[in-house]
Chains A and B, each alone.
Chain A
């Protein structure tokens, strides 16, 4: 190409910008959102009022941890815990620390779980809310430690422990330390249970792998949100192993309910009320005499 060419008028455009599939579905940030299930547009304002449940198809969209606090607990009752814990890079994985920092900035959380004490319809509870926007909600040392401390707090204060799970499983980048967080949270849950205290596990989309195979599955009460993906092994892994078509509803909350793995599926709009009532049923101060 000569210098002259640069100044030539009416030159043909050599490249055309074709919007990607993803960009086509994008709606200007903030004003409207597209339901990932039925693809209908919803005003974000309306969506939040509807607890991030699609008004058209009833799809339960992902929520951030703080959004859950807002819709689940009594107003201004939540005090977070252990926000100062910091993830390190024990196996020196390239760019792991940067990824954590980026997600921390994006979500305003120090790790993939938010823990603390709050009130649910007047009753004090310890709560842990996992956030899948932070490294897919995966569990490394800090997530394990925060959940364990929240359970310990609940045991000490003799109050129920409630968790909202949302996680892809153990965090690969922390290796076997991540695996051991499954055991760590379990020993704490054992102690909480031995003290006669209540533990409610609420499984939300998605809850898989090491999280599904530890605390998520052993609540005194196991509840799930409708259509949530819940399972141990990934669907693709299973398809490759068994070489047979898996049912459409495989590893959904409904599938688990049918197979006896859940106590109930509860719609997001009724979650607060129903869980509060479960808590109240366990909190009768005086032993009821017949």
Chain B
């Protein structure tokens, strides 16, 4: 059974009530159908109300939901003939980032994304989707390959952040991220990034210097996790809920700040409730983006990225 989140509690209660009544109708031979219809109408309204007025903290929890679809799910649902390519040719293969070539709408693309595990065993293998430098270097290698063969690049962002570890520092975590930022800025093919879960700081941005940036409605993109922000700013990690609001990290927040291009609608309650339907929403957005970008020359694509990021920032002149 899919894990339910605290804010969904009233819905669960009402659903249980309806089930009880239905059972009662059958077992006790009392006609409750009118009540049931009424309650079902109320349920629909309640779902509408709750899912359309989600607080930032609710979205954080949906973004972190263990059943939330990952990069691999979307590749499987959106692409055919995906061929995964491994390794950075320098040190190793980081399972926290996957990537390869695939057909999307019958046309070749390069698709790369952070990859979490679905269970503990896989999470250990994939380091909970927190890459080491070799992950970023693999991503860059695949992007350069895409550029050579003139394939558009789609990046899926879904990480708590780059891994803070000894080995990562030794092998140049900073340089690996920084290199990606600078190299992505100069790519001669269209680059589209989609935040599908958590967009955690520099580790997310290293796949994010794109022509178009989209976010799933219940995904987040931030400079630091709500817990981290709370502990730095208020010396208390338990204030994460407040920090999630204050830091403005949800898709609608980023759209308002004009950092991202599109908020991709999610199915009610979050992408994990209907992965296939969610993939279709994503597909539409990707097709629109690709159509818009295919007419730009390599120089225009680079200029487009330049202007996009140059304009981000708030200050008084």
Contact = CB atoms under 8 A, between A and B. Distances in A.
B137 to A, nearest CB: 13
A259 B170 contact: yes
A46 B148 CA distance: 58
Interface in A260-285: 260-261
A231 B167 CA distance: 12
A193 interface: yes
A217 B186 contact: no
A232 B222 contact: no
A183 B315 contact: no
A256 B134 CA distance: 17
Given A172-B229, A214-B178, A237-B164, A91 B169 contact: no
A175 B232 CA distance: 13
A265 B293 CA distance: 44
Contacts of B185: 183, 186-187, 189-191
A174 B257 CA distance: 12
B173 interface: yes
A238 B165 contact: yes
Contact of A176 (B163, B169, B222, B246): B222
A233 B309 contact: no
A16 to B, nearest CB: 30
Contact of B233 (A172, A238, A242): A172
B309 A180 contact: yes
A210 interface: yes
B165 to A, nearest CB: 5
Contacts of A232: 162, 164, 168-169, 173-174, 177, 202
Contacts of B209: 183, 186-187
Contact of A93 (B178, B179, B246): B246
A230 B246 CA distance: 30
A242 B130 CA distance: 14
Given A187-B310, A190-B182, A232-B174, A88 B168 contact: no
Interface stretch (B10-18, B45-53, B63-71, B247-255): B247-255
Interface in A203-225: 209-210, 212-218
Interface in B190-225: 201-202, 205, 208-209, 221-224
Interface in A232-250: 232-234, 237-238, 241-242, 244, 246, 250
Contact of B181 (A142, A174, A214, A233): A214
B315 A87 contact: yes
A144 B311 CA distance: 11
A85 B317 contact: yes
B138 interface: no
Contacts of B208: 183
B232 A183 contact: no
Given A176-B249, A232-B164, A217 B312 contact: no
B107 interface: no
B313 A181 contact: yes
A197 interface: no
Contacts of A162: none
Contacts of A233: 162, 164-165, 168-169, 173
A188 interface: yes
- For A142, A176, A214, A230, the residue with the greatest tally of chain B CB atoms inside 10 Å of its CB is A176
- For A91, A179, A209, A261, the residue with the greatest tally of chain B CB atoms inside 10 Å of its CB is A179
A179 B182 contact: no
Given A180-B259, A238-B166, A217 B315 contact: no
B91 to A, nearest CB: 11
A200 to B, nearest CB: 15
A141 B313 contact: yes
A142 B165 CA distance: 31
A230 B182 CA distance: 20
A84 interface: yes
Contacts of A70: none
Contacts of A191: 185, 306
Contacts of B186: 190, 193-194
Contacts of B168: 232-233
B305 interface: yes
Contacts of A237: 164
B175 interface: yes
Contacts of B175: 217-218, 261
Interface of B: 162-166, 168-175, 177-179, 181-183, 185-186, 201-202, 205, 208-209, 221-224, 229, 232-233, 246-249, 254, 257, 259, 302, 305-306, 309-310, 312-317
Given A217-B172, A251-B169, 14 more contacts: A87-B316, A142-B313, A145-B313, A174-B223, A176-B259, A177-B259, A179-B201, A183-B208, A183-B309, A186-B182, A188-B306, A216-B178, A231-B169, A238-B165
27 contacts: A86-B316, A141-B313, A172-B224, A172-B233, A175-B222, A176-B254, A177-B257, A179-B201, A179-B222, A180-B205, A180-B309, A183-B209, A183-B309, A187-B185, A188-B310, A190-B185, A210-B202, A212-B174, A214-B202, A216-B178, A217-B179, A218-B178, A230-B174, A232-B173, A233-B165, A241-B165, A242-B165
In the A-B complex, list the 3 residue pairs whose CB atoms are closest, starting with the nearest: A233-B164, A141-B313, A186-B181
Interface of A: 84-88, 90-91, 93, 141-142, 144-145, 148, 170, 172-184, 186-191, 193-194, 209-210, 212-218, 230-234, 237-238, 241-242, 244, 246, 250-251, 259-261
